[in-house]
């Protein structure tokens, strides 16, 4: 209060000079922050490119090495040290790279989307479209955003008509997956460039993973046809269990990646959603934000539906176990 009193006691010209100085200082900080965020976005996109390149190259090198060494599915693989390893396990090695890299890629994509949303707000400040007094900088803005619970963020996003993955029906999710892998495009063919890029990456990781799993399953089945008993253990169960573990892990990760892809294109992590979230958090008054959160209700998933999905998944896994082992 004392500082406000001192400021009000100054002459009008001095107060004008102080205001202009604060504006110039803020504009300078905004320009610097715009440059830093642009560099950060460039670094994140280059990081994504490196992950994809490394994953595809690694898979190519591993498969080339296996092919060069003349893999025979009826025999064990003698190419690593002095240990005999069932070839079905060797085909799964690329998944050690593919699965974590695919997940990291989409996590990086959500970070990019969040920065782009803030970048648009920052440009609005810089062009005087938003009141400069609301500008608090990137780190402080992130600190303010972290004070909101994830459910509150989803309510803010939903209040602007943006769909949420959690509220989408199973059929809608299935249609989205089919359109992603090119089986049912329809209106989905009219995609923005970035959406097409994200889908292409998803299909790349998904296809390579399926390819490795199919080769592993084929090798196991071929082994069963050519060898009645697995040496020492009596049956070829260990490679099958390892393959089954990779299959379950792959299903879980690509279900997560599909969710992230949906959210990046049209849902909670989309450019539009992040822009709405930043605008609400940084520009709206606290009373308005509280009213939005209180008046927006999220549809909780039915426990019966959740239980049915789990039962179907367990039945699916048991069918695989019965068919493979």
Which domain does 107 fall in, by range? 24-299
CA distances from 8 to 14, 132, 234 (A): 10, 20, 90
Half-sphere exposure of 269 (CA within 13 A, CB side): 20
Q: Which of 218, 246, 264, 258 is nearest to 97 (CA)?
A: 246
Task: Give 86's strand partners.
Answer: 76
Whether 273 maps to a domain, the answer reads yes
pLDDT the model gives residue 231: 43
Whether 243 maps to a domain, the answer reads yes
pLDDT in tens, 82-136: 334 566 677 888 888 899 999 999 999 999 999 999 998 888 877 777 776 777 8
pLDDT band at 284 (very low <50, low <70, confident <90, very high): confident
Whether 311 maps to a domain, the answer reads no
pLDDT the model gives residue 42: 92
Whether 105 maps to a domain, the answer reads yes
Whether 17 maps to a domain, the answer reads no
As a whole number of angstroms, the distance between CA 113 and CA 260 comes to: 12
- Three-state DSSP at 86 gives strand
Q: What percent of the chain has pLDDT over 70?
A: 68
Total number of domains in the chain: 1
Whether 312 maps to a domain, the answer reads no
Segment 164-181 mean pLDDT: 86
Whether 10 maps to a domain, the answer reads no
Q: DSSP class of residue 302? A: P
Whether 321 maps to a domain, the answer reads no
Top-confidence residue, 133 or 260: 260
pTM of the model: 0.79
Q: What are the start-end ranges of the H helices in 270-324?
A: 271-283, 286-295, 303-324
pLDDT the model gives residue 305: 65
């Amino acid at each position: 209060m004392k500082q406000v009193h001192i400021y009000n006691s100054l002459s009008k010209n001095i107060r004008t000079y102080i205001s202009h100085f604060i504006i110039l200082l803020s504009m300078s900080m905004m320009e610097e922050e715009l440059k830093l965020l642009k560099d950060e976005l460039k670094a994140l996109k280059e990081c994504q490119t490196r992950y994809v390149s490394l994953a595809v190259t690694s898979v190519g090198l591993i498969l080339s090495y296996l092919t060069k060494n003349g893999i025979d599915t009826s025999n064990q693989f003698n190419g690593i040290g002095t240990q005999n390893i069932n070839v079905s396990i060797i085909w799964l090695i690329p998944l050690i790279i593919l699965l974590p890299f695919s997940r990291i890629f989409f996590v990086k994509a959500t970070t990019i989307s969040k920065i782009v949303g803030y970048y648009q707000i920052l440009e609005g400040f810089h062009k005087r479209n938003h009141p400069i007094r609301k500008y608090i900088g990137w780190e402080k803005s992130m600190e303010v955003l972290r004070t909101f619970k994830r459910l509150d963020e989803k309510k803010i996003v939903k209040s602007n008509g943006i769909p949420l993955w959690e509220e989408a029906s199973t059929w809608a999710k299935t249609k989205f997956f089919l359109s992603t892998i090119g089986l049912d495009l329809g209106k989905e063919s009219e995609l923005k460039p970035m959406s097409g890029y994200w889908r292409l990456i998803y299909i790349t990781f998904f296809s390579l993973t399926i390819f490795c799993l199919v080769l592993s399953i084929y090798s196991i089945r071929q082994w069963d046809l050519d060898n009645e008993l697995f040496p020492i253990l009596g049956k070829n169960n260990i490679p099958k269990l390892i393959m089954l573990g990779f299959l379950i892990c792959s299903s879980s990760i690509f279900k997560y990646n599909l969710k992230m892809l949906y959210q990046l294109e049209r849902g909670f992590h989309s450019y539009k959603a992040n822009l709405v979230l930043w605008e609400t958090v940084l520009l709206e008054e606290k009373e308005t934000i509280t009213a939005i959160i209180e008046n927006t209700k999220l549809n909780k998933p039915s426990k019966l539906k959740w239980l049915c999905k789990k039962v179907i998944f367990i039945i699916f896994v048991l069918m695989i176990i019965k068919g493979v082992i």
